[in-house]
Amino acid sequence: MAGSAQRLRMPEQTSSGSAKVEIDAIRKVFPTSRGEVVALNDTSLTISNNEFICVVGPSGCGKTTLLNILAGLDVPTSGEVRIDGKSIHGPSSERGVVFQQYALFPWLTVRQNVEFGLKLKRIGKVERQSIAEKYIESVGLKDFANAYPKELSGGMKQRVAIARAYAVNPQLLLLDEPFGALDAQTRTQLQVELLNTWEQEQKTCFFITHDVEEAVLLASRVVVMSARPGRIKSIVPIDLPHPRTQETRMSKEFNDLKNEIWGLVYQEYLEAKK
């Protein structure tokens, strides 16, 4: 595992720092043919610089809606999100997004996928190539730089997505069930790698998952959302020491936290089924 944890070790670069995020009384209503769907109601949360927030909650409780609003891909019906005190209007290279289904451009190679955001940032060709090369190497895909996404396994595609997000050096990383589609072993490996990277780079992370164990391993705080309309039901601080490793999962503290959060989430699953 130590070897694989090296793999996502990101090269040094000038950091644009990490972001403080203020989610202020967000409400999101979707008009549909069946009437209005209240996806989020009165959702507020302040995330400090460098925090790793994991969000758990039943399907349909508004997690992706909240992430899309943070990414600037959607707008709230009311309320506001501020990043370092400024309200957000649209997507920005300061916010890197990783989706569950890899979302790589199938017609671009690994290298071109990783360079994509750098191109948008108008970084010159030579610098772009050198940044992409470093990040591709850091996720262990040097030999696949010229491969197309269809030639990669799920875990490899997700490594490309993470490299692409990190390459633009965002202040805030938004990850929507990034490991949800992976087999248990690859998932465990990528969790440790991502954690290792966060421990070094200390970017603000907002990570959605259905896996309570994953949330406890990664997070500084776990946010439990209620069944739709989504609100924040509880916030559980995870004070487990870093570096966190596979051994962390064995500790009593880890399992107590896991059981506590699972209990909170389960109540909401039952609510959502009603």
Piece of the chain touching Mg ion by CB under 5 A; list 33-41, 63-71, 79-87, 142-150: 63-71
Residue 64 makes contact with ligand ATP by CB under 6 A: yes
Piece of the chain touching ligand ATP by CB under 6 A; list 63-71, 90-98, 104-112, 260-268: 63-71
> Judged by CB under 6 A, which of 20, 157, 228, 231 binds ligand ATP?
228
Piece of the chain touching ligand ATP by CB under 6 A; list 32-40, 132-140, 167-175, 214-222: 32-40
Q: Which one of Mg ion, ligand ATP, none interacts with residue 81, CB within 5 to 8 A by kind? A: none
Pairing verdict, β 78-83 and 52-56: unpaired
Residue 138 makes contact with Mg ion by CB under 5 A: no
> Judged by CB under 5 A, which of 18, 41, 43, 64 binds Mg ion?
64
CB 154, min distance to ligand ATP, A: 18
| Torsion from C-alpha of 241, 236, 180, 143, nearest 10 degrees | -30
> Judged by CB under 6 A, which of 41, 43, 65, 209 binds ligand ATP?
65
Pairing verdict, β 52-56 and 204-208: parallel
Residue 113 makes contact with ligand ATP by CB under 6 A: no
Residue 39 makes contact with ligand ATP by CB under 6 A: yes
Residue 76 makes contact with ligand ATP by CB under 6 A: no
User: Cα dihedral sign for 83, 166, 123, 147?
Assistant: negative
The CA–CA distances, whole Å, from 92 to 13, 32, 51, 161, 172 equal 19, 28, 20, 17, 10
Number of residues that bind ligand ATP (CB under 6 A): 12
- How far apart are the C-alpha atoms of 234 and 232, rounded to whole Å? 6
User: Cα dihedral sign for 247, 1, 210, 89?
Assistant: positive
Residue 65 makes contact with Mg ion by CB under 5 A: no
Q: What is the DSSP string of 222-244?
A: EEEEPSSSB-EEEEEE----SS-
- How far apart are the C-alpha atoms of 114 and 156, rounded to whole Å? 13
Question: Would you say 73 or 240 has its CB closer to Mg ion?
Answer: 73
Count of CA atoms in the C-beta half-sphere (13 A) of 41: 10
Binding site for ligand ATP (CB under 6 A): 30, 32, 37, 39, 59-65, 228
Binding site for Mg ion (CB under 5 A): 64
